[in-house]
């Protein structure tokens, strides 16, 4: 018989299809699944209850789902702070091209720790920088996620268009077409788990139109579909990208992606800031997903994505931290607030997003985008026990009557407990399975080591 954990006396936002909420309710976890939830106290007579949590003053939500990130950037935060995307990439690629396995592991630990402390239970990492001789970078990232206890998708990235081909990355930081495809397939074969409740999955993820060849995009899509895994890349992030695609391919990014097999319900793209009505219609028709990264889009002056229009068209949209060289805080729960506020600066103004739509982006929307909406993203019986207890009775939130409004509009709420697969990974804002101070030291040391190596050229 599965062991049970009972959480009581809490407000609950289920984020189910009906946006069911309880002002005073309970959740019962059995093993790694949500067994039941509802109003009032838990049923009497439950057997094998190993723990009861009095969650008075808390809101329980599904765990947050991060749909776009670059973990390695944790050790290059605070650089090129006044640059647009292309100039930022030109400044940072020569540094990133020097990363190795030790740096990547430490950076993954830092990125994961910051997100997990802030309520993220499922995340992904789009890693596309594989300098020659740098070691097992994919394996190091997966190991860090496993140790942290979060649910994880590694989007195994790649680049084969370097400076000599008109791209931005240094020549020694890219792979060959054949090498990238072979390494990606090997990563899928070794690490992808397609089962319900999987903790590790792999996606195929060439970096972007301006850093990969058309053939890598086309063959990458074929590889992903042959293996039955999802596809991820950057799309329509800046005006410059659109100009690049039109000059090089004679069409805009969305049409180019469609011509290479990169639209479909198994695809999600990061940013999608510069989308016209035709682009939005194409994404809606094909059910292509979007990872919305409001803080990074603002940091790099990329623009305001048309999220309200995407949602109205039926496009799956989730939230992304993006790499911490363009979002130094590295926290997803702040993106709930920033998504709401920044979208209200667009054409829809105050009607753009509300608090519950923002919470849905960060939970169920993210689960849709990662292809895991049957398993996570809402609190429903039978789904995986990935959930967060947000403390809302302190000075920061206690005078806001509605708990969802408090969570989204208010300051970043403390996480009293976070569960992944029924296992607690955060207690009173602290990670339970890793040494936070040790991670802080190692990330600082690896950042300094990378800076020294890059300075030596």
Give pLDDT, residue 210: 85
Please state, rounded to an integer, the average pLDDT across all residues of the chain: 96
Q: Which domains, ranges and CATH numbers included, belong to the chain?
A: 4-62+378-431 (2.30.40.10), 64-370 (3.20.20.140)
Give pLDDT, residue 457: 77
Q: What is the pLDDT of residues 56-95, one digit of tens each?
A: 999 999 999 999 999 999 999 999 999 998 899 889 999 9
Can you give the pTM of this predicted structure?
A: 0.97
* Residue 232 banded pLDDT, cuts 50, 70, 90: very high
In this predicted structure, the answer to whether residue 231 has a pLDDT above a threshold of 80 is: yes
Give pLDDT, residue 167: 76
Give pLDDT, residue 173: 81
Give pLDDT, residue 239: 87
Span 268-297, mean pLDDT? Answer: 98
Give pLDDT, residue 353: 98
Q: What is the pLDDT of residues 253-267, one digit of tens each?
A: 999 999 999 999 999
Q: What is the pLDDT of residues 288-302, one digit of tens each?
A: 999 999 999 999 999
The pair of structure tokens assigned to 164 is: 């000599």
In this predicted structure, the answer to whether residue 168 has a pLDDT above a threshold of 80 is: no
* Residue 194 banded pLDDT, cuts 50, 70, 90: very high
Give pLDDT, residue 330: 97
Q: What is the pLDDT of residues 108-156, one digit of tens each?
A: 999 999 999 999 999 999 999 999 899 999 999 999 999 999 999 999 9
Span 406-431, mean pLDDT? Answer: 98
Kindly state the percentage of the chain with pLDDT values over 90: 92
């Amino acid at each position: 018989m599965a062991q049970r954990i009972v959480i009581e006396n809490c407000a609950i936002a289920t984020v189910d299809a009906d946006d069911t909420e309880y002002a005073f309710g309970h959740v019962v976890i059995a093993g790694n699944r949500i067994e039941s939830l509802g109003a009032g106290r838990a049923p009497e007579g439950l057997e094998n209850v190993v723990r009861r949590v009095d969650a008075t003053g808390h809101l329980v939500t599904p765990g947050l789902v991060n749909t776009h990130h670059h973990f390695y950037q944790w050790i290059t935060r605070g650089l090129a702070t006044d640059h647009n995307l292309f100039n930022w990439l030109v400044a940072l690629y020569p540094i990133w091209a020097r990363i190795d396995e030790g740096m990547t592991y430490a950076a993954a630990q830092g990125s994961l720790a910051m997100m997990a402390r802030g309520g993220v239970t499922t995340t992904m990492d789009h890693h596309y920088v594989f300098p020659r001789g740098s070691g097992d970078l994919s394996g190091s990232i997966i190991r860090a996620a496993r140790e942290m206890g979060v649910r994880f998708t590694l989007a195994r990235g790649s680049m084969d268009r370097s400076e000599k081909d008109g791209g931005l990355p240094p020549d020694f930081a890219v792979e060959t077409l054949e090498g990238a495809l072979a390494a990606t397939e090997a990563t899928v074969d070794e690490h992808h788990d397609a089962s319900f409740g999987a903790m590790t999955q792999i996606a195929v993820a060439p970096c972007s139109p301006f850093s990969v060849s058309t053939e890598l995009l086309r063959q990458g899509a074929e590889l992903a579909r042959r293996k039955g895994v999802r596809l991820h890349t950057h799309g329509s992030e800046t005006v410059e990208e659109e100009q690049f695609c039109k000059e090089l391919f004679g069409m805009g990014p969305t049409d180019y992606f469609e011509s290479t097999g990169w639209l479909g319900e198994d695809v999600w793209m990061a940013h999608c800031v510069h989308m016209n009505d035709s682009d939005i219609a194409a994404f809606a028709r094909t059910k292509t997903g979007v990872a919305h990264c409001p803080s990074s889009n603002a940091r790099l002056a990329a623009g305001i994505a048309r999220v309200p229009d995407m949602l109205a068209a039926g496009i799956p949209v989730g939230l992304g931290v993006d790499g911490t060289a363009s979002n130094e805080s590295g926290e997803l729960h702040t993106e709930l607030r920033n998504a709401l506020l920044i979208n209200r600066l667009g054409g829809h103004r105050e009607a753009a997003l509300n608090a519950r739509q923002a919470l849905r982006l960060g939970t169920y929307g993210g689960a849709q985008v990662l292809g895991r909406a049957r398993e996570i993203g809402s609190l429903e019986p039978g789904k995986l026990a990935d959930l967060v207890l947000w403390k809302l009775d302190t000075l920061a939130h206690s005078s806001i009557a509605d708990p969802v409004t408090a969570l989204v509009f208010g300051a970043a709420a403390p996480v009293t407990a976070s569960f992944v697969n029924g296992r607690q990974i955060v207690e009173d804002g602290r990670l339970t399975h890793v040494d936070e101070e040790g991670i802080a030291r190692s990330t600082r040391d690896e950042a300094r080591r990378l800076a020294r190596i890059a300075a030596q050229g």
